[in-house]
Structure 1
Amino acid sequence: MTDTSILFECEYRGQRYAGLGLPAPGEPQTLYRVADGQLRAALVAGGGPKALRAAVAEGTETVQVAAGDPEVRFLPPLLPTASNNALINGFMGTHRTKFDRDPEPDEEFTPPNYYIKGFGSWLRMPDEPLTTPADPVWLLEEPEVALVYVNDDDGVPHYAGYTFGNDLNDIGLHLKNPWAWTPYAKLCETSLTPWLFLDRPPRTVTGRVVIERDGATAWEGGFSCGADSLYHRVEDMTQYLFSYPALRRPGLVNYLLLGADKASYHDGFRIEDGDRMVIDVSSHGVVLANPVRYGQADTARS
C-alpha cells in the first residue's frame, strides 16, 4: 500500500511529476503530472500538508515508471525550478550534546547561531556529488532534519513538512575563526532527500553514518537529530527566524536545517576527496548517499 504521508516531485522526460510514498524495490510507481508551483499553490491556499497530498492525487495525467528508471530525476521538495525563489538556511549549535546542562522548563529563549547556505538550486539529490572548496581544512558531514516552508503572496510562511539533509561543511576552517569564517566554511554543497514527510517536525530521528573509501567502510557512527535531541524548542527557533521580513518574501521556499549532532570530525576522522557519505535515517526508512568532490581552484577574471 502506498504511504500517502510522503510526497515527492521529479522530472521525467522533460515534464514535472509528483508521487506518493517511498519507491518499493523492484516495484513500479505511479507519477502524477503537475506544473511547477501547483503544489506550492495548494499548500498556501489552505489545508496545510494535507492539501499537498490532495493536489497530487488530483493530477489528470499519470504514468507508470519502473523502479530505478534512469529517466526519473528527483527534485528537492517543492523547489521552484522556474524562478529559483528558494533559500537553504539553518541553525548551528542546537543539540543537547553541545551544552553542559538541560534547559529549564521556563528558560528564556536565546536564539542559536544562524547561517544562510545558498539558493535552492544549489541543493543536490541522493547519489549526486557534493562539491567543496579546492582545499578544505577538515570536512564534516551533518545529518539534519530540514523543514520546508512556502511563503504566500502576503509573505506568511506555510509549513509543508520535513525531509533530511547533509549539511556538508568545512569545520576546520570554521574553528580557525568562528566569528568570521563560518560563512566560508558553509560554502560546500548540501544534499536533501526528495521525500517530503507530510507531518509535524519529528520528535525522534535516529540512524547511522558510514563514510566509504575505495568501496570499504572507513568510518561509521550513530546520530540523532529529532526535536528531542535539540536544546531549543523547534517552535521557538522557527517563530524567531520568521520574525525577520527578509525571510518572508512572497513566494519564497525555505529549506531550514535544524542542526546536527557530533559526527566523524569529533571522532578524529578526516573526509577526503572521493569518499562516499552514506546517511541511513533508519527511523524513517530513507538513505541519503553522496560522494565528495573537491572543487577546482580559480579566481575571478577582470
Structure 2
Amino acid sequence: MTVFFECTYDLARHAGPGIPDANAPLRLHRLHEEDDLAALLAGAADEKERVAALTALLADRPAVEVPAEARHLVHVRPPLLPAHIGDALVSGFMMTHNVKIDADTQDQPNWFVKGLGDILRVPGEPLSVPADAVAACEEAEIVLVYVGDAQGIPRYAGHTFGNDLTDIGRFKRHAGHLSYAKLCDAGIAPWLHLGPPPRTATGEVVIERAGGQAWKGPFTTGSDAIHYDVAAMMDRLFAHRSLHRPGRVHYVYIGADRSSFHGDFRTADGDRVTIDVTSHGVRFQHRLAWAEPAAGHGGQEWGQ
C-alpha cells in the first residue's frame, strides 16, 4: 500500500488503501479514537517504514465493506488533517517552475501562507473566492505534507495534489499583494502518496460553465519541471524554528506551471474546475463560489 485515504463513515473515522474506483465497493478500516496517523508517519524514516507502519496498523483494525450504493455515505477528508484546525498550516511557494524563470530569479522562491486547515476543500466542495477578487485562477499543484515530530521538526509524510486557487489579477496589479492574492480556499485530493514527490506529473484542467466546456489546458509539474531543488527548498523553509511544533501538519503547495489565466481565460462564479492528474490516476473537481461582500470590516472603528 503506497497510497491511502481517510474518511468518515457511520459516524466514525476510517482509512482505506489506494485510490478507489468511483463505482466499486469500498474496503475501509475503522480507526480507534486514539489513532494518530500523522504521528505514525512522522516517526517513520522513509517510504518503506511509512508503508510498513500504516499497513500494520490497518491490519489490526476492523475491516468494513461499503457497497457501491452506499458510497454517498462516505465523506473523504484532507489527508492527516488534525482534530484542531489550528494545528494545520496551509502554505506554498510561487514562481518555482522553469517556464516562469527569468534572469532575476532568486535563489529561494517566495513563500506565502494561505491559511489554516479549514481552508482545505476536498473534491466536490466549493472553493470560496473573495468578493473583491480581480481575476481568480486555478493552479494544479503537488502538495507536500509534513508533520512535526516529538521535537516539532517537520518530517515528510507524503504528497498529494491540489488546486492553489489564486487571485492572480490582484498579484499582477501589484506584486506586493501576493499575500492577499493567495487568501482563497485550497482544493486538495484526499489520497496521500507515501513515496517521494514525483519527478513528473502531467494532466489537464477542464473548466465548465453553464453545463459546457469553457476552457481546457494541459499542465506539467514535478521536480523535473521546477527550477529549484525541492529538498533544499523545503530544508530552508523548515530551518525556521517558528514553524516547529509537535503534531503540526503542514500542507505545502510547490507551484504550478501555467493556468487558464495564462490562456487568456477568466473564471466566473459557478465555474466547475476539474484537475485530472492523468499520470497518477488522480482526478478531482471543485465549483468556484464568489463570497458575498462583507457587511463591515475590522478597522472600521479606527475611522471614528
Taking structure 1 as the reference length, the TM-score comes to 0.92
Higher helix proportion (structure 1 or 2): 2
Matched to 1:221, the amino acid is G
Instruction: Determine the structure 2 residue equivalent to 1:53.
Output: 54
| 3-state SS of paired residue (1:207) | strand
Instruction: Determine the structure 2 residue equivalent to 1:225.
Output: 221
The answer as to 2:81 corresponding to 1:79 is yes
The answer as to 2:293 corresponding to 1:291 is no
The answer as to 2:175 corresponding to 1:178 is yes
Using the TM superposition, give the Cα deviation of residue 84 of structure 1 relative to its aligned residue in structure 2, in angstroms: 3.8
The answer as to 2:259 corresponding to 1:257 is no
Instruction: Determine the structure 1 residue equivalent to 2:165.
Output: 168
Identity of aligned residues (%): 43
Contact 1:209-1:278 within 8 A present in 2 as well: yes
Taking structure 2 as the reference length, the TM-score comes to 0.91
Quickly say closer, same or farther: Cα 1:36–1:276, change in 2 above 3 A.
farther
Matched to 2:62, the amino acid is E
Instruction: Determine the structure 2 residue equivalent to 1:64.
Output: 65
| 3-state SS of paired residue (1:70) | helix
**How many angstroms apart in 2 are the aligned matches of 1:17 and 1:201?**
25
State which of 128, 138, 148 in structure 2 corresponds to 1:131. 128
**How many angstroms apart in 1 are the aligned matches of 2:132 and 2:85?**
32
Using the TM superposition, give the Cα deviation of residue 135 of structure 1 relative to its aligned residue in structure 2, in angstroms: 3.0
Structure 2 counterparts to residues 1-302 of structure 1, below 5 A: 4-34=1-31, 35=33, 37-48=35-46, 49-67=50-68, 69-82=71-84, 84-100=86-102, 110-179=107-176, 181-298=177-294, 299-300=296-297
Quickly say closer, same or farther: Cα 1:139–1:81, change in 2 above 3 A.
same
Contact 1:130-1:292 within 8 A present in 2 as well: yes
**How many angstroms apart in 2 are the aligned matches of 1:243 and 1:82?**
24
- In structure 2, runs of 5+ residues without a counterpart are none
Using the TM superposition, give the Cα deviation of residue 42 of structure 1 relative to its aligned residue in structure 2, in angstroms: 1.6
May I ask how many residue pairs the two structures share in their alignment? 292
Matched to 1:265, the amino acid is F
CA RMSD of aligned residues (A): 1.8
| 3-state SS of paired residue (1:78) | coil
**How many angstroms apart in 2 are the aligned matches of 1:238 and 1:145?**
13
